[in-house]
């Protein structure tokens, strides 16, 4: 991921955490999920159920590597 995309993903995480409406947050989550290959729900777990910073959420998501079958 290029640095520009990483910064955009970090900004989306921050916006999701500050989101006003559920619809707005859902739309931003869909946009954010486009950056990563994470299984469904894992990204939102990082955002809402951990104490990771916005940058740490993105870095953690970037660490994920799918299992080759």
Sorted by where each begins, the domain ranges of the chain are 3-63
Interatomic CA distance for residues 65 and 40, integer angstroms: 14
pLDDT averaged over every residue in the chain: 93
- Global pTM value: 0.89
- Cα–Cα distance for residue pair 40/55, rounded to 1 Å: 20
CB 13 within 8 A of CB 32: yes
Residue 35: count other Cβ atoms within 10 Å of its Cβ: 17
Position 37 pLDDT exceeds 90: no
pLDDT category at 68 given cuts 50, 70, 90 is confident
What band does 40 get if pLDDT is binned at 50, 70 and 90?
Answer: confident
Two tokens, residue 68: 């080759």
Whole-angstrom distance, CA of residue 67 vs CA of residue 29: 23
Residue 13 in this model has a pLDDT that exceeds 90: yes
Q: Is the pLDDT of residue 69 over 90?
A: no
């Amino acid at each position: 991921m290029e640095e520009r995309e990483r910064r955009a993903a970090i900004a989306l995480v921050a916006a999701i955490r500050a989101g006003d409406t559920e619809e707005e947050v859902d739309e931003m989550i869909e946009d954010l999920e486009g950056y990563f290959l994470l299984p469904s729900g894992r990204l939102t777990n990082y955002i809402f159920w951990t104490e990771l910073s916005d940058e740490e959420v993105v870095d953690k998501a970037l660490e994920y590597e799918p299992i080759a079958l």
